[in-house]
Amino acid sequence: MDHFKTNIALIPKATGAEKTIGAIIIALMFVPFAIGIFSENKRLLLSLPAAFVLLFIFNLVSKEKFNHRNWVQKDFFVEFTLSGVKIISSTGQKEFLWTAMRGTQLQVRGFDGEVKPGEDESGHYNGTENRLTFHAHNRKYELNFYLKNAEQKQALKLFLQNIIAPDTHLTFQEQQEIYSADINSFKEVLKESEPTGQKKSIKSMGCLVLFITPFVLIGIGTFGLALYQFGKVAQARNWTPVHAKVLSVEMVSSSDSESTSYKVEMKYKYSVSSQTFMGSSVSFNSGMNNIEHYGELYNVLNQSQVIQIYVNENDPAESVVIRGITNAMIGMLIFSIMWNSLLLTFLLPALNRKLEMKKVLIVTLVMWALGIGKFIFQVGDIDISTQVSVIEAKEGRK
C-alpha cells in the first residue's frame, strides 16, 4: 500500500456576528423566562420553546455549522503517500514532502461512530476529529479529515507505520498511543509557535469569561440567597414563641404592563425580659411577588390584634411572624437550580471532556420540565396565611 486517501472535513468557525446573535438568542431564552416565573406571566414562559426554535432557524441560516455531517467535503481530499501529503480539490492539488515538513503532528482520534475511550456506549466520535498539523514554507497548515469506519482507521495506521522514519519529522498519535520520530524537531517548532497560540487562547478565554460571568453571578447569587433563607427557617425552629401586638398592616403592590406584584408590610411590638421591641418581619422572604397568597395573609393579619411571633433568644431584636417555608422561597430555589443546571450543561462538558453533553442535557431538560410544571400547575402550593397564629382578633372580628 503506497497511499491513503480520505475526505477533508472543514469545521467552520462562527463569525463575530454569529457569536453575537447566538448570545442574544440565549439571553432571550433566559431573561423573559426568569421574569415569567416570578411574575406568573405564562406568556413569558413561551420564550423558552421560542428560543429553541430560533436556535434551530439560526442553525439553518448559518448553513448548519453545528451539524458535523455537513463538514465532510465530497470533492476535497487529503492523500498520504510515501513521499508526502497531497491536498486535492476539484480545481487542482498541492503536495508537501515529508522531508520539507516540520512539526508534523497527525492525530487519529477515531472513525464515525467509534466509542470514545473511557466512556460508555453513548460517547462516540463523529469521524471528523482527526487532524493533521504541520509547518512548511514558513506557514502553518492545519486540517481535519474524515474516517468513515474501522477499516479506514486501521488502513491509515498500517500505512503510516510503514513511512515513519527518523527523517520524516512525523509524530503519529492514536488516542493515547504515540509513535514519535524526530521529537526534538517537533518540540522546537512547538516552542516557536507557542506565544501566538497562547495569545489567541488567552484572548478567547478572556472573552468567554467576560460573557459568562454575569450569568454565573446570577446563578451563585440566587442559589446563595435560597440557601440563606432555608437556613433561617431551620434556625427559627428553635426560636421562642412570643405574643405580639399588631400595630399596622398594609398591602403594597407594584404593577407593570404584564403583571402586578404584592407584598404585605406590617409593624408589631413585643416584650422579652421586660424589654419592648419593635418588629416588621413577616417571613424570611421579604421580596415582592405574585406567587404567595398575600390576599389571604393580609386579611388574617388585618383582623388580628395579638398574634404569635417567633423570637431569636440570642438576639431578641430579631423576630418573624411566619417561620416556615414559603412559595417564594421554593420558587427562588427552583429557579436557581434551573438556571445553574443550564449553565452547567455548557460548562461541564468543556471542563471535563469525558463527560457526555447529551447526558447532562437530558438531566437538565428533566429539571426544567419539573420546574415549569411546578410553576404552571402550582404543585405543592403553600397558603402562608395558615401559618399565622392568631391569639386575639380585633373587636367585632371573629
* pLDDT, tens only, 49-60: 777 777 777 766
What b-and-e string marks burial along 3-30, b requiring 16 or more CB atoms within 10 Å of the CB?
Answer: ebebbbbeeeeeeeeeeebbeebbebbb
**299 Cβ contact list (under 8 Å, min separation 6):** 385
Q: How far apart (Å, rounded) are the C-alpha atoms in residues 261 and 253? A: 6
pTM assigned to the model: 0.58
Q: Which comes out higher in pLDDT, residue 122 or 297? A: 297
Confidence of residue 284 (pLDDT cuts 50, 70, 90): very high
Is 249's pLDDT higher than 50?
yes
Is 121's pLDDT higher than 50?
yes
Which SS3 state, helix, strand or coil, does residue 304 take?
strand
Q: Which comes out higher in pLDDT, residue 368 or 221? A: 221
Residues 262 and 288: beta-carbon distance below 8 Å: yes
Confidence of residue 118 (pLDDT cuts 50, 70, 90): low
Residues 360 and 345: beta-carbon distance below 8 Å: yes
| pLDDT given at position 37 | 65
Residue type, 102: R
Confidence of residue 174 (pLDDT cuts 50, 70, 90): very low
Confidence of residue 28 (pLDDT cuts 50, 70, 90): low
Is 398's pLDDT higher than 90?
no
Break the chain into its structural domains and give their ranges: 3-181, 203-237+327-376, 239-324+382-393
Is 313's pLDDT higher than 90?
yes
Q: Which comes out higher in pLDDT, residue 102 or 267? A: 267
Confidence of residue 191 (pLDDT cuts 50, 70, 90): very low
The stretch 276-296 carries a mean pLDDT of 89
| pLDDT given at position 384 | 94
| pLDDT given at position 318 | 97
The stretch 303-330 carries a mean pLDDT of 96
Q: How far apart (Å, rounded) are the C-alpha atoms in residues 379 and 54? A: 30
Residue 380 is placed in which grid cell? 405543592
Q: Which neighbouring-strand residues pair with 390? A: 307
Q: How far apart (Å, rounded) are the C-alpha atoms in residues 258 and 43? A: 9
| pLDDT given at position 321 | 97
* pLDDT, tens only, 344-393: 877 776 666 566 666 777 888 888 888 888 877 888 889 999 999 999 99
Q: Which of 15-24, 107-116, 220-229 has the lowest mean pLDDT?
A: 15-24
Q: Which comes out higher in pLDDT, residue 233 or 30? A: 233
Residue 255 is placed in which grid cell? 404593577
| pLDDT given at position 207 | 65
